[in-house]
Protein backbone atom coordinates (compact mmCIF):
# COMPACT_ATOMS: atom_id res chain seq x y z
CA UNK A 1 0.00 0.00 0.00
CA UNK A 2 1.47 3.37 -0.91
CA UNK A 3 1.74 6.08 1.70
CA UNK A 4 -0.66 8.24 -0.28
CA UNK A 5 -3.22 5.45 -0.24
CA UNK A 6 -2.71 4.98 3.51
CA UNK A 7 -3.17 8.69 4.08
CA UNK A 8 -6.32 8.61 1.99
CA UNK A 9 -7.64 5.76 4.11
CA UNK A 10 -6.74 7.67 7.28
CA UNK A 11 -8.40 10.79 5.89
CA UNK A 12 -11.51 8.77 5.10
CA UNK A 13 -11.62 7.16 8.52
CA UNK A 14 -11.22 10.40 10.44
CA UNK A 15 -14.55 12.16 10.50
CA UNK A 16 -13.66 15.13 12.71
CA UNK A 17 -13.38 18.18 10.40
CA UNK A 18 -10.09 19.40 11.92
CA UNK A 19 -8.44 16.01 11.43
CA UNK A 20 -9.67 15.83 7.85
CA UNK A 21 -8.17 19.23 7.03
CA UNK A 22 -4.90 18.19 8.61
CA UNK A 23 -4.76 14.91 6.67
CA UNK A 24 -5.50 16.77 3.43
CA UNK A 25 -2.53 19.06 4.11
CA UNK A 26 -0.30 16.08 4.75
CA UNK A 27 -1.20 14.30 1.51
CA UNK A 28 -0.77 17.57 -0.35
CA UNK A 29 2.65 17.84 1.30
CA UNK A 30 3.52 14.39 -0.02
CA UNK A 31 2.48 15.44 -3.50
CA UNK A 32 4.51 18.66 -3.29
CA UNK A 33 7.52 16.78 -1.93
CA UNK A 34 7.61 14.83 -5.20
CA UNK A 35 6.49 17.73 -7.38
CA UNK A 36 9.42 19.87 -6.22
CA UNK A 37 11.75 16.90 -6.59
CA UNK A 38 12.83 16.84 -2.94
CA UNK A 39 12.38 13.06 -3.11
CA UNK A 40 15.01 12.78 -5.82
CA UNK A 41 17.69 13.70 -3.29
CA UNK A 42 16.10 13.01 0.09
CA UNK A 43 14.39 9.72 -0.86
CA UNK A 44 10.67 8.99 -1.21
CA UNK A 45 10.59 7.88 2.44
CA UNK A 46 12.53 10.99 3.51
CA UNK A 47 15.48 9.00 4.79
CA UNK A 48 16.87 6.70 2.11
CA UNK A 49 18.69 9.45 0.30
CA UNK A 50 19.75 8.71 -3.27
CA UNK A 51 21.93 11.86 -3.27
CA UNK A 52 25.18 12.06 -1.41
CA UNK A 53 25.08 14.18 1.77
CA UNK A 54 21.33 14.75 1.62
CA UNK A 55 20.25 14.53 5.22
CA UNK A 56 17.30 12.37 6.29
CA UNK A 57 14.27 14.60 6.85
CA UNK A 58 11.76 12.00 8.05
CA UNK A 59 10.36 12.65 11.51
CA UNK A 60 12.23 15.94 11.91
CA UNK A 61 10.73 18.91 13.69
CA UNK A 62 8.45 20.57 11.08
CA UNK A 63 9.55 24.08 12.09
CA UNK A 64 13.18 23.11 11.58
CA UNK A 65 12.47 21.69 8.12
CA UNK A 66 10.45 24.78 7.23
CA UNK A 67 13.11 27.27 8.34
CA UNK A 68 15.97 25.38 6.71
CA UNK A 69 14.17 24.86 3.41
CA UNK A 70 13.08 28.49 3.29
CA UNK A 71 16.64 29.64 3.94
CA UNK A 72 18.08 27.18 1.40
CA UNK A 73 15.73 28.37 -1.28
CA UNK A 74 16.29 32.04 -0.50
CA UNK A 75 20.08 31.63 -0.47
CA UNK A 76 19.81 29.41 -3.56
CA UNK A 77 21.82 26.67 -1.82
CA UNK A 78 19.17 24.28 -3.12
CA UNK A 79 19.74 25.51 -6.68
CA UNK A 80 18.80 22.21 -8.30
CA UNK A 81 15.46 22.18 -6.55
CA UNK A 82 14.49 25.10 -8.72
CA UNK A 83 15.51 23.43 -11.97
CA UNK A 84 12.58 22.20 -13.98
CA UNK A 85 10.07 24.04 -11.82
CA UNK A 86 8.44 27.23 -12.98
CA UNK A 87 8.93 28.77 -9.57
CA UNK A 88 10.25 27.71 -6.17
CA UNK A 89 7.81 26.37 -3.58
CA UNK A 90 5.87 29.07 -1.75
CA UNK A 91 6.00 29.35 2.04
CA UNK A 92 2.63 27.63 2.26
CA UNK A 93 3.91 24.78 0.11
CA UNK A 94 7.12 24.44 2.15
CA UNK A 95 4.98 24.32 5.29
CA UNK A 96 2.91 21.47 3.85
CA UNK A 97 6.03 19.55 2.83
CA UNK A 98 7.49 20.09 6.33
CA UNK A 99 4.33 18.85 8.02
CA UNK A 100 4.27 15.81 5.75
CA UNK A 101 7.93 14.95 6.44
CA UNK A 102 7.40 15.31 10.18
CA UNK A 103 4.78 12.53 10.04
CA UNK A 104 7.19 10.02 8.45
CA UNK A 105 8.84 7.42 10.69
CA UNK A 106 12.49 8.21 11.47
C1 LIG B 1 19.74 18.21 -5.66
C2 LIG B 1 19.48 17.43 -4.45
C3 LIG B 1 18.49 17.98 -3.44
C4 LIG B 1 17.16 18.32 -3.67
C5 LIG B 1 16.39 18.25 -4.98
C6 LIG B 1 16.65 18.76 -2.39
N7 LIG B 1 17.63 18.69 -1.43
FE8 LIG B 1 17.44 19.20 0.53
N9 LIG B 1 19.42 18.80 0.86
C10 LIG B 1 20.28 18.29 -0.08
C11 LIG B 1 21.60 18.13 0.52
C12 LIG B 1 22.84 17.60 -0.22
C13 LIG B 1 21.48 18.57 1.85
C14 LIG B 1 22.56 18.61 2.92
C15 LIG B 1 23.65 19.58 2.62
C16 LIG B 1 23.33 20.96 3.02
O17 LIG B 1 23.10 21.20 4.22
O18 LIG B 1 23.33 21.85 2.15
C19 LIG B 1 20.09 18.99 2.04
C20 LIG B 1 19.58 19.49 3.21
C21 LIG B 1 18.24 19.78 3.42
C22 LIG B 1 17.68 20.23 4.69
C23 LIG B 1 18.45 20.50 5.97
C24 LIG B 1 18.38 19.41 6.98
C25 LIG B 1 19.14 19.82 8.23
O26 LIG B 1 18.80 19.35 9.30
O27 LIG B 1 20.06 20.63 8.16
C28 LIG B 1 16.34 20.40 4.49
C29 LIG B 1 15.31 20.82 5.53
C30 LIG B 1 16.06 20.07 3.10
N31 LIG B 1 17.24 19.71 2.48
C32 LIG B 1 14.81 20.12 2.53
C33 LIG B 1 14.54 19.92 1.18
C34 LIG B 1 13.23 20.08 0.57
C35 LIG B 1 11.96 20.42 1.32
C36 LIG B 1 13.40 19.87 -0.76
C37 LIG B 1 12.32 20.03 -1.85
C38 LIG B 1 11.73 21.37 -1.95
C39 LIG B 1 14.80 19.53 -0.98
N40 LIG B 1 15.46 19.58 0.22
C41 LIG B 1 15.35 19.19 -2.20
C42 LIG B 1 19.97 17.97 -1.39
C43 LIG B 1 18.76 18.21 -2.03
Cβ of 70 below 6 Å from ligand 1: no
Cβ of 54 below 6 Å from ligand 1: yes
Tell whether domain 3-103 is in CATH 1.10.760.10. Answer: yes
Confidence check: pLDDT of 42 > 50 = yes
Mutation test of ligand 1: which of 35, 41, 43, 83 has the most ligand atoms closer than 8 Å to its C-beta? 41
Domain boundaries, the chain: 3-103
Q: 88 Cβ partners below 8 Å, 6+ apart? A: 36, 73, 81, 82
Question: What are the counts of helices (DSSP H) followed by strands (DSSP E) for the chain?
Answer: 6, 0
Local confidence band at 49 (pLDDT 50, 70, 90 cut-offs)? confident
Q: What is the pLDDT of residue 53?
A: 81
Cβ of 78 below 6 Å from ligand 1: yes
Confidence check: pLDDT of 10 > 70 = no
At residue 47, the 3 state secondary structure works out as coil
Amino acid sequence: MTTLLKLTVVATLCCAPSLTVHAANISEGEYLYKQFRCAECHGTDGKTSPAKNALPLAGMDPDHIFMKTKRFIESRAHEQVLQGCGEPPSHVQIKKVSDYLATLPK
